[in-house]
Amino acid sequence: MGIARKIRKEYSKAQQIVEQATSSIRTVYSFVGEKKTFSEYSVALRPTVQLGIRQGIAKGLAVGSSSIGLALWSFIAYYGSRLVMYHGAKGGTIYAVAAALTLGNISKGARNSSSFRKSSCPDSSVVPSSSEDHQIGGNKPSLKRLFAMNLPEWRQALLGCVSAILCGAVQPSFAYTMGTTMSAFFLTDHGEIKRKTRIYSFVFLGLALLSLLINVSQHYNFAAMGEYLTQRVRERMLSKILTFEIGWFDEEGNATGVICSRLARDANVVRSLVGDRMSLLVQAISSVTIACTIGLIISWRLALAMMAIQPLVVGIFYSKHTLLKTMSKKATESQNTSSKIAAEAVSNVRTVAAFNSQPQMLQMLKKAQQGSKGESIRQSWLAGIGLGVSNCLLLLVWPFAFWFGGRNNDK
């Protein structure tokens, strides 16, 4: 949270430059100050890039700290084998207790992590497509153009993709090692139990260390890609905006607050697309490929059955994402309107004070924030029902897996 506050503080300096330039655009054009404004804005963006990279390292350490759970299974494998050999414990009991404790702690951590907030904005389009788009650029946006802008960071892209592939391999490898460890508890030869659990304990430790290192590498490299891309996008947007005619700035949809919002948010959406989502996509493809390969090798019947219901699982997660995104749409629109009103009031504070219009401005801000209240309440009920059904179907996948696996085991 400290780094996020610093990023907002540093970017506010760059935003002040844009706000001063656009609110006094006639003066800027009269003295041909476009290049000076662009240069000052570019210099003001540099600290945010470095802080964003530091935030990527911190995120990698935070995500990589989940490897403690992998290291915990190393102790479970060792101590569980001692309980089985010398205290008559059952392998199933060891697994049930270990899974309950580790999964419970993971769920608790996920609940506590909800207080973490990224400095970037929601992954949604802030400015809808309109007839004004031809003024911003004749060519339609494409991933090729974005990747071309990110080409100087090809080394970071390569290292980030390799780290994401290795990160995707951790969970399937952990699941396979955990299953083989539990099977060792059912052996009758104590020497064989000791030998196998010793090997599996070191494997868990190796996976924990590998997970920490590759998470740091993954998030650092993709953060570097995203931050430099964000800087270039913002610079190009401002450079293009400063070429528009004065009449363009007089339009209601191109007020100072709206322009600042575009620069602050649209560039973050681009960074999320090329950086964060690219990282997640590579990691997901790696994880799915390795998991399916391991499953087909070990038990191809069960693997095919689980692969057959994966479209249902994907549909469930997609529906949950869609419901949550729909709920936040009205709130985002209300926030954009409130931001515009606040920016206009601050940039024209002398006029507001001269006409004693502070109560009217506060009333307008309050009205903008309450506009979507009723719609949000109605959508919350629909989203609650939808999320409940989705979670129910998702949990039903586990009984099916155990039932089908039990039938194959009987055969």
Taking Cα atoms as reference points, which of 61, 66, 294 lies closest to residue 173?
294
Decide which of 298, 333, 357 is a domain's last residue.
Answer: 298
- What total of structural domains would you count in the chain? 2
Decide which of 234, 265, 298 is a domain's last residue.
Answer: 298
The answer to whether position 212 is within a domain reads yes
Residues 294 and 312 placed together within one structural domain of the fold: no
* pLDDT averaged per 10 residues, the chain (length 411): 80 87 87 88 89 89 87 88 85 80 60 44 41 46 74 89 93 90 86 90 93 93 89 88 87 81 78 79 92 90 88 83 70 76 83 85 80 70 81 86 80 59
Taking Cα atoms as reference points, which of 277, 262, 381, 390 lies closest to residue 327?
381
Provide the CA 221 distance to its chain's centre, in angstroms.
15
Residues 181 and 55 placed together within one structural domain of the fold: yes
Give me the pLDDT at residue 115, please.
42
The answer to whether position 181 is within a domain reads yes
Please give the Cα distance from 280 to 161 (Å, whole number).
10
Please give the Cα distance from 6 to 134 (Å, whole number).
36
Residues 246 and 316 placed together within one structural domain of the fold: no
Decide which of 276, 298, 320 is a domain's last residue.
Answer: 298
Residues 317 and 347 placed together within one structural domain of the fold: yes
Residues 173 and 216 placed together within one structural domain of the fold: yes
Residues 74 and 180 placed together within one structural domain of the fold: yes
Give me the pLDDT at residue 165, please.
94
Residues 218 and 94 placed together within one structural domain of the fold: yes
Residues 364 and 398 placed together within one structural domain of the fold: yes
CB-based burial, 92-120: b 16+ in 10 Å, e otherwise: eebbeebeeebeeeeeeeeeeeeeeeebb
Residues 291 and 339 placed together within one structural domain of the fold: no
Give me the pLDDT at residue 122, please.
39
Residues 248 and 325 placed together within one structural domain of the fold: no
Give me the pLDDT at residue 88, please.
82
Give me the pLDDT at residue 211, please.
93
Domain of 30, CATH number, reads: 1.20.1560.10
Residues 274 and 313 placed together within one structural domain of the fold: no
Tell me, yes or no, if the pTM score tops 0.85: no
The answer to whether position 204 is within a domain reads yes
Give me the pLDDT at residue 319, please.
80
The answer to whether position 373 is within a domain reads yes
Taking Cα atoms as reference points, which of 334, 337, 328 lies closest to residue 379?
328
Question: C-alpha dihedral over 148, 150, 151, 155, to 10 degrees?
Answer: -150
CB 286 within 8 A of CB 173: no
Query: Phi/psi zone of residue 32: left (φ > 0), alpha (ψ -120 to 50 degrees), beta?
Result: left
Give me the pLDDT at residue 123, please.
39
Give me the pLDDT at residue 126, please.
39
Residues near 123 by beta carbon (within 8 Å), at least 6 away in sequence: 269, 272, 273
**Helices within 87-188 (DSSP H only):** 91-112, 133-136, 143-149, 154-184
Residues 159 and 274 placed together within one structural domain of the fold: yes
Please give the Cα distance from 200 to 204 (Å, whole number).
6
The answer to whether position 122 is within a domain reads no
Question: What would the two tokens of residue 193 be?
Answer: 């139990």
Give me the pLDDT at residue 328, please.
66
Please give the Cα distance from 205 to 264 (Å, whole number).
42
**Which secondary-structure segment (H or E) carries 274?**
none
The answer to whether position 187 is within a domain reads yes
Question: What would the two tokens of residue 379 be?
Answer: 């959508």
Domain interval for residue 356: 308-411
Give me the pLDDT at residue 107, please.
54
CB 51 within 8 A of CB 217: no
Instruction: Let me know if 41 is exposed, middle or buried by CB neighbors in 10 A (0-12, 13-18, 19+).
Output: buried
Residues near 248 by beta carbon (within 8 Å), at least 6 away in sequence: 135, 254
The answer to whether position 264 is within a domain reads yes
The answer to whether position 118 is within a domain reads no
CB 361 within 8 A of CB 347: no
Three-class DSSP category at 309: coil
Question: What would the two tokens of residue 189 be?
Answer: 């030869």
Question: What would the two tokens of residue 52 be?
Answer: 């964003």
CB 202 within 8 A of CB 57: no
CB 289 within 8 A of CB 372: no
Give me the pLDDT at residue 120, please.
40
